[in-house]
Amino acid sequence: MNACAYIGLGANLGEARETVLAALAALQTTKGIAHCEHASLYASDPVEATGPVFVNTVARVETTLAPICLLDALQAIELQHGRARPYRNAPRTLDLDLLWYDGINLSTPRLILPHPRMHLRAFVLRPLKELAPDLQLQQGSLDSLLSACSEQKIWPLQDKATPTP
């Protein structure tokens, strides 16, 4: 049986745009993922982090993978792109976050669903709204949550554009 999951993608080191696009292609060919579509690419300033501007998007996948197995697949893609975790919120070549999985609540040492900070991040909410405008999170509607983080800079990336405000 297929489950619907939303995955946040971001990068701010190296060729961030190309890395995010390569990660999207990897998701499409991952065993256990039947369908993958994504929102537009956005640039955003780091939130509670340092480093260059991020390139972000959100993907919606239909998957037969259980949440932890999907997390394992996401972390394998991160490693293929040189992801290191030297400290919390370090700049990164690629970050794949399992944001939401079929509406379930889960809390394990490795995975919390829904993602515990997604409602605080414009770089997650804005592309998520493209894919699921009527999605209701426990904390409220995507519109109300976006309004609450309106001070966070996020802007759409044009084709072949460099991330500039």
Q: Which residues are the active-site residues?
A: 83, 92, 95, 97
Closest by CA position to 154, among listed 133, 129, 134, 135: 129
Tokens read off for 98? 């399992």
Q: Which region holds residue 40: left if phi is over 0, alpha if psi is between -120 and 50, else beta?
A: beta
**Could you tell me the two tokens for 72?**
């394992």
Cα–Cα–Cα angle for 37, 107, 110, rounded to 5 degrees: 75
The full length of the chain comes to: 165
User: Considering only CA atoms, which of 101, 95, 110, 128 is closest in space to residue 20?
Assistant: 95
Q: Is 115 exposed, middle or buried (0-12, 13-18, 19+ CB in 10 A)?
A: buried
